[in-house]
Structure 1
Amino acid sequence: MTKSKTFIQPLDRIAIALMLLLSVLIGLIILQGDVVTARVRDFTWQNQQIGAEDNSFTLTFSRPMETKSVEDNLKIEPPLAGKFSWAGRRMVYTLLTPAPYGTNYKLQLQGAKDKFAQQEGKNRLIQAFTGSFRTRDRVILYIGTNQEEQGRLVLYNLTQEQKRVLTPKDLIAMDFESFPDGEKILFSARASNNEDLLSAQLYTVTTGVSSKSGQEAQPGGKVDLVLDSKDYQNLKFDLSPDGQTIVIQRGNKNNPGDFGLWFMPATSDGSAEKPTPKRLKSQPGGDFTITPDSKAVAVAQGQGAAILPLQGDASKPLDFLPQFGLVQAFSKDGSQAAMVKFNTDYTRDLFLVTNQGVQKQLLKTTGSILSCQFDIASPTLYCLLTQLVSKEQYIEQPYVVAIDLKTGQQKPLLVLPPAQRNVQMSLSADGLGLLFDQVVPQANPPVSLPTNTLKTDDGDVIATSSLWLMPLLPIADAATVEIRPEQLPLAGFHPRWLP
């Protein structure tokens, strides 16, 4: 009987050698401990364009980090105040105020320590990280008054100093609101050859601005008809904060008693048919505004203010405030509202009303409360008011005031010339700038006017109008620093900031 011999093949020798080598390497790694370098795996704002609604970013790390070392070594240039929160390897930085628009930012992290390496007595540092992001450009919209832009909607980029006329010459813009992404504008306009101010139709126009990084914007100036005025006059409108719903105050051309609110989708559902308005079944009302949750509308109704649902039975208000005649503004989260009380002595009170039932008087005026806006960056309410300076001729002097909602402190920011009641005001999304206009009415206008003549809400013929920009500071700082408004090199009225 012959003894069998075992032969080791060359391939087997290679496999055995690799196994031995891997065993040695694994052993060395075990002896050395964990040598994986901590690093930033993801930065949610990397190379992104953000807006006022973007209030926090996240850093995700490859390893658990020593949190204090990260917080101490994180640097943002220019600085953005914020607070930290942690969930495992994820760090969230929440801004205390919106990032100023028109700014490029750089984020750096170096010198932060690995949590477990520090426990093992080692001083292993994170791999240095640099990120970048930017905020949207500072962009304004207005209705032009010079010969070439008369009655047309104009966009001006303050950051890049670029101007673009959005609407054609055959339309006279009357009012407008931006969609929340700033890529389209909803506006009312009449034909330039039709002097009837009640013939306005609703349109949308693209701005040519993209709200997202890396996304190509639609060409600016594309106009689409949203709602005609064949059977009903379109008097006022409001666009919901989510950009999905339009509420319109309409009157039947053939029946003056048929007057009320209608609502419709702001965009089509992809079908060929255009959205059609539906009647809001409620009592006729006056001024109105859609609530911040986009589900209801606040209407001046009878001797009070009613909150009516946009879906369901609007004849049953969600709430009714009999002591207030007008909702002037809502805070962004809907927890507060600025409301006007009309007194029997012809004065007006401004109240802060909260969803907790608090009603706090902020001021009283002998004139009018034209508009108010809540600042999302601080507990401040900016209001455009008038004060009666001549009872005989009933002359009102407009002024702008900032009100600290915590303390009730008032800070007058600007006093405008008397008889400038047609002033319009707009607060920027980042809370750092206030736009306003100064309309110059035409003295002794002729009886016969061109059909494209521009007029104020009071019916005065507009000769020209200038736009002004006032930088804003917190009320405490504004008390020690004098701020002067700057006249912009633009001729127009009804200015608004793009979101």
Structure 2
Amino acid sequence: MTKSYKSIQPLDRVAIALMLVLCLLIGFMIWQGDAVKPIVRNFNWENQQIGAEDTAFTLTFSRPMDTKSVEDNLKIDPPLAGKISWAGRRMVYTLLTPAPYGTNYKVMLQGARDKFSQTQGKNRLIQAFTGSFSTRNRALLYIGANQEEQGKLVIYNLTQEQKKVLTPKDLIVMDFEPFPEGDKILFSARSSKNPDLLSAQLYTVTTGIVSKVGEQPEPAGKLDLILDNKDYQNLKFDLSPDGETIVVQRGKRDNPGDFGLWHLSATRDSSGEKPTPKRLESQPGGDFLITPDSKAVAVAQGQGTAILSLQGDTTKPLDFLPQFGLVQAFSKDGSQAAMVKFNTDYTRDLFLVTNQGVQKQLLKTTGSILGCNFDPASPTLYCLLTQLVSQEQYIEQPYLVAINLKTQEQKPLLMLPPAQRNVKMSLAPDGLAILLDQVVPVGNTTAPLPTNTLKTDNGEPIATSSLWLMPLLPIADQANLEIKPEQLPLVGFHPHWLP
């Protein structure tokens, strides 16, 4: 016999030893049975910062679970109402209302059982799990009205009580809309040296905010010119809910009768070039609002409202509602709209119009309908209205009302001082508060005004303005509880919640 058959090589000894150990381990596991504890393998909101658009979290388990034991032992602190559904080893918890902003949450699970443990006469309990997530800080935007912040776009973090000016002093901000992630703001502004309200250009500016934990934010105040005013005047604009598209009402500088709607990308292309606006080939219209799916725009045309596609043929409307002259608001899912009907007797009706063809009158007013917002958490519509208090002088008094869309019950929430039509409202993304402004006009309008004088949408000079926060509760909880607005320590107007 040769030498190679007489001895075993060291590598062979190691391999044989490993095989013996593995055989012993396998035998031990077979003898012991399946006793591995189930675990939570994935929690998709772990260490994330969520917003109102985030409506459900998932827990993925290592093995099939006894669903009732999971549902009975799942705890969220602070509590968040929701409903549970299952898809194999994945549990989905869908929130009934948006999670309140500015809050840290824990998701805890212990005591839940494996699906097969009971039938096998065992009690395999899940390994205790704790996950955490948070909601975005409560933050608002406004246009400053004091000497230091005059005409500048300001962001104020209510949660952290921090304020930051976003735009430079040589620009007077006229209007703005935040992007859905809150990382940028689209705004129109004129030069502080030019009093012409029709000289606005469109810009974006960064806020310094990130929605995902661990991401590096862009520095706040980074400015980018999106649309200039060389050939056209930029009148009004709207940003699509997905933050991808801008619709602008524009008029030709050398031909005032040539005006219409244009659309363009909200960001520069991959080569860094500014987006090119394209005209919507349709008849001129008035006020407009992009639909919640970001694919169409509702435009007041003639005596009605046309729905125009932003992706296909715009010469023929997708739909036309002849009896409604204005869309005040869409619900988040696009299934409902608050629309205004202008009557021949100078009254206005507010209607709820659904995508199923239902048209329900909510109220009639002799004054104006200044703005409406759908509550994301309940079937409630909040509206800022005015009532006529002097027919001779035509003095209107604004007030805030909550309308239950199921019962059509109206509950006045707040009465504002008379003769103040330039009021703006903004409903918080979690539905728990409304922002309002109270503009004080310039008293002496005969004296010449500086070029950087702030003005309302209708050109009225602004002396100063205060901001107010109105806490909200569901209508059912407000029956015997008087809620009063709180004046914020900020001087500005046109308040808007950050998403």
| 1:152-231 correspondence runs (5 A) | 152-231=152-231
Give the equivalent residue in structure 1 for 2:294: 294
Whole-angstrom CA distance in 1 between matches of 2:25 and 2:439: 80
Following superposition of structure 1 onto structure 2, how do residues 236-275 of structure 1 map, counting pairs within 5 Å? 236-275=236-275
Letter in 1 for 2:381: L
- 1:63-82 mapped onto 2 (5 Å cutoff): 63-82=63-82
Structure 2 residue matching 1:344: 3-state secondary structure: coil
Q: Residue by residue, what CA displacement relative to the aligned partner does 1:226-273 show, whole Å, maximum 9, x if unpaired?
A: 111112111101111111111111111211211111111111221243
Deviations 1:65-112 (A, max 9, x none): 111111111111110111111111111111111111110111111111
Match of 1:447 in 2: 447
Over the aligned positions, Cα root-mean-square deviation in angstroms equals 1.7
The alignment's TM-score, normalised by the length of structure 1, stands at 0.96
| Corresponding position: 1:311 with 2:336 | no
- Separation in 1, partners of 2:346, 2:135: 45
1:388 Cα shift?
Answer: 0.7
Q: Which residue identity is paired with 2:229?
A: S
Amino acid at match of 1:417: P
- Give the aligned partner of residue 122 of structure 1: 122
CA distance 1:437–1:13, shift in 2 (3 Å): closer
For residues 328 and 165 of structure 2, what CA distance do their matches in structure 1 show? 30
Deviations, residues 342-367 of structure 1 (Å, cap 9, x unaligned): 11111100000011000000111010
Task: Please state how far the C-alpha of 1:24 moved relative to its aligned partner.
Answer: 4.0
Deviations 1:261-300 (A, max 9, x none): 1111111221243112111111111101111111111111
Gaps of 5+ in 2: none
| Paired letter, 2:411 | K
Alignment of 1:23-172 (within 5 A): 23-172=23-172
Residue in 1 that maps onto 2:488: 488
Cα offsets for 1:306-343 (capped at 9, x unmatched): 11112333221110111111111111111111100011
Q: 1:8 to 1:453 in 2, by over 3 A?
A: same
Q: In the alignment, which residue of structure 1 is the partner of 2:404?
A: 404
> 1:7 Cα shift?
5.3
Aligned residues: 497
The residue type paired with residue 216 of structure 1 is Q
Farther-moved stretch of structure 1 (210-219 vs 168-177): 210-219
In the superposition, relative to structure 1, how do residues 293 and 20 fare at CA in structure 2: closer, same or farther (>3 Å)? Answer: closer
- In structure 2, the partner of 1:330 is 330
Cα pair distance change 1:330/1:16, threshold 3 Å: closer
- Listed one character per residue, the Cα deviations across residues 385-429 of structure 1 (whole Å, up to 9, x for unaligned) are 001111011011101111111111111111101111111000011
Name the SS for the 1:122 alignment partner: coil
Aligned-partner Cα distance in 2 for 1:20–1:289 = 73
1:447, CA displacement in angstroms? 2.5
SS of residue in 2 equivalent to 1:72: helix
Cα–Cα, structure 1 residues 15 and 226, in superposed 2: closer, same or farther, change >3 Å? closer
Tell me whether 1:434 sits opposite 2:412 in the alignment: no
Report the alpha carbon displacement of residue 17 of structure 1 after superposing the two structures with TM. Answer: 6.0
Cα gap change, 1:357/1:24 in structure 2, threshold over 3 Å: closer, same or farther? same
What letter corresponds to residue 140 of structure 1 in structure 2?
L
Q: Provide the C-alpha distance between the structure 2 equivalents of 1:14 and 1:453, rounded to a whole number of angstroms.
A: 87
Query: 1: distance between equivalents of 2:176 and 2:383?
Result: 20
SS at match of 1:477: helix
- 1:321 equivalent in structure 2: 321
Which range moves more in the overlay, 10-19 or 309-318?
Answer: 10-19
- For 2:149, give the aligned amino acid: E
Amino acid at match of 1:81: A
Over 3 Å counting, the alpha-carbon distance change for 1:18 and 1:409 in structure 2 is same
- Tell me, in whole angstroms, the C-alpha distance in 1 between the residues paired with 2:448 and 2:334: 47
Residue 151 of structure 1, CA deviation? 0.5
Other-structure match for 1:386? 386
- Tell me the residue number matched to 2:395: 395
Change (3 A) 1:21 1:352: same
| Equivalence for 2:476 | 476
Residue 26 of structure 1, CA deviation: 2.6
Give % identity. 79
Measured against aligned partners, the alpha-carbon deviations of 1:165-190 in whole angstroms (never above 9, x if no partner) come to 00011000000001111111110111
- Give the deviation of 1:460 after TM superposition: 2.2
* Structure 1 residues 497 and 17: CA distance shift in structure 2, 3 A: closer
Measure the CA separation in 1 of the matches of 2:242 and 2:205.
18
SS at 2:116 equivalent: helix
Deviation at 1:20, TM superposition (A): 4.9
Q: Distance in 1 between matches of 2:199 and 2:21?
A: 87
Cα separation, 1, equivalents of 2:445 and 2:382: 34
Give the CA deviation at 1:121.
1.5
Output the CA distance in 2 between the equivalents of 1:32 and 1:406.
60
